[in-house]
Amino acid sequence: MLSRASPLARSAFRSAQPVARRGYAGAPNAAASNTPLFLGLAGLAGLGGYVYLQRNPSIGAKAKSELHDAKDQAKSKFEDVKGDAKAKLDQVKGEAKAATATASTAAAGALVKDAWVPFKLESVENYNHNTKIYHFTFGEGNENKSRGGEIPNALLVRSPEGDGEVKDAKGKPVIRPYTPISGNDQKGGLSLMIKEYKDGLLTPYISAMKPGSELLFKGPIPKFKYEPNQIDRGLCVSGGSGVTPMYQLITHSLSLPEDKTKWTLVFSNVTEADILLRKEFDALAKKNPDRFEVKYVLDKPPKGWKGETGFVTPEMISKVFPKGDDRVKAFVCGPPPQVKSLAGPKDGPRQGELLGAFKDLGYMADEVFKF
């Protein structure tokens, strides 16, 4: 190694160093102005060395061999250093790549926007006569992932391919959107509240599922970007299972300490037994009396019902949610006839023209959102 080389060889290696350093691309070249001086000195030293060696051939031979040894050692040291540096660089590169992959996977969430992923049904809770809550897990290795996306969001569901796959009359797989009722940051799984339509296509299949079986999921499907305090008051009007996006939106807003937005939920159903998430909404109203109120509306009210009855009309809306000069926005989600009568029909995934009760009440198109 270098420490074992002769003084001559060491000086030869040292004198080579500035040249090597100057070769470093992009480095400031502070020694450049001394170059002629160095060259002159090197020339003199070379000439002196030549004369000395001519007069002392044995010393010259020894020095020559030591110089060769030193060159070999310097080369081998350089190869070692180069090898170490490359190994270190590869390690750092590998670590950086792994960290990026972990960060992007965690940020991506368990749902995939452009691909169907299977989630396993873990358990089912009977909620009422036609609705159940389904708890799905994201599976092994995904325990620390949440589903991803921003509130409010929905996802798409279909049955697995193969025997028993649910298809429509044209033989195409039946795909339906649902709105998770579990928190957006819940890790390892998600929960759906699904009302069964006995004559529907997909819900009888889901209702018959047993824990351990799988559904295919895709998403999340963003609806809009909810910003705290962008409006002063929000009105949510929904019917039946159309309440799930409202539950997502309202619980999210109430959970944000900086958000002061106030919410009114007008929730219509046929009978009292059809009211979904009633316990949860009542608890939210009790906990946030200044920010959230809920009005239940029934088609077939029981005796002594103190809430609203019949269809949701413009008069009912102005009574429970008078429009003032503050920033308001109405959100609508329910059976298509209800959406149509309140805000005009949706145009496929597009909002469609604002018509119906909200138009009559003087709302502008950007003051109404149809889920």
Ligand X SMILES: Cc1cc2nc3c(=O)[nH]c(=O)nc-3n(C[C@H](O)[C@H](O)[C@H](O)COP(=O)(O)OP(=O)(O)OC[C@H]3O[C@@H](n4cnc5c(N)ncnc54)[C@H](O)[C@@H]3O)c2cc1C
Under the rule (CB under 6 A), what is the footprint of ligand X?
154, 174, 176-179, 192-195, 197, 199-203, 241, 244, 371
Least CB distance to ligand X at residue 154 (A): 4
Q: Least distance in Å: CB of 168 to ligand X?
A: 8
The reply, when asked if residue 178 is annotated as ligand binding, is yes
CB of 242 to ligand X, least distance (A): 7
The closest alpha carbon to 239, from 339, 322, 317, belongs to 339
CB of 198 to ligand X, least distance (A): 8
For ligand X, give the closer residue by CB, 74 or 242: 242
Which residue's C-beta sits nearest to ligand X? 200
In terms of CB distance, is 13 or 127 closer to ligand X? 127
**Three-state secondary structure string covering the chain:** CHHHCCHHHHHHHHHHHHHHHHCCCCCCCCCHHHHHHHHHHHHHHHHHHHHHHHHCHHHHHHHHHHHHHHHHHHHHHHHHHHHHHHHHHHHHHHHHHHHHHHHHHHHHCCCCCCCCEEEEEEEEEECCCCEEEEEEECCCCCCCCCCCCCCCEEEEEECCCCCCCCECCCCCECCEEECCCCCCCCCCEEEEEEECCCCCCCHHHHHCCCCCCEEEEEEEEECCCCCCCCCCEEEEEEEHHHHHHHHHHHHHHHHCCCCCCEEEEEEEECCHHHCCCHHHHHHHHHHCCCCEEEEEEECCCCCCCCCEECCCCHHHHHHHCCCCCCCEEEEEECCHHHHHHHHCCCECCECCCCCHHHHHCCCCHHHEEEC
Cβ 151 to ligand X shortest distance, Å: 13
Give the CA angle between residues 220, 226, 227 to the nearest 5°.
145
Nearer Cβ to ligand X, position 263 or 369? 369
Q: Is 244 a known ligand-binding residue?
A: yes
If the CB atoms of residues 70 and 154 are measured against ligand X, the closer one turns out to be 154
Q: Measured from the CB atom, is 151 or 192 closer to ligand X?
A: 192
Q: CA 264, CA 118: separation in Å to the nearest integer?
A: 36
Determine if residue 195 is labeled as part of a ligand binding site: yes
> Which residue carries 């400031």 as its tokens?
28
Minimum distance from residue 164 beta carbon to ligand X (Å): 15
Minimum distance of ligand X from residue 159's CB (angstroms):
11
- Is there a binding annotation on residue 177? yes
Q: Considering the complex, state which of residue 13 and residue 116 has its C-beta at the smaller distance from ligand X.
A: 116
Among 259, 270, 199, smallest CA distance to 233 is for 259
Minimum gap (Å) between residue 371 Cβ and ligand X: 5
* Nearest CB to ligand X, comparing residues 5 and 344: 344
- The smaller minimum CB distance to ligand X, of residues 128 and 144, is found at 128
Numbered residues of the known binding site for FAD: 176-178, 195, 244
Numbered residues of the known binding site: 176-178, 195, 244
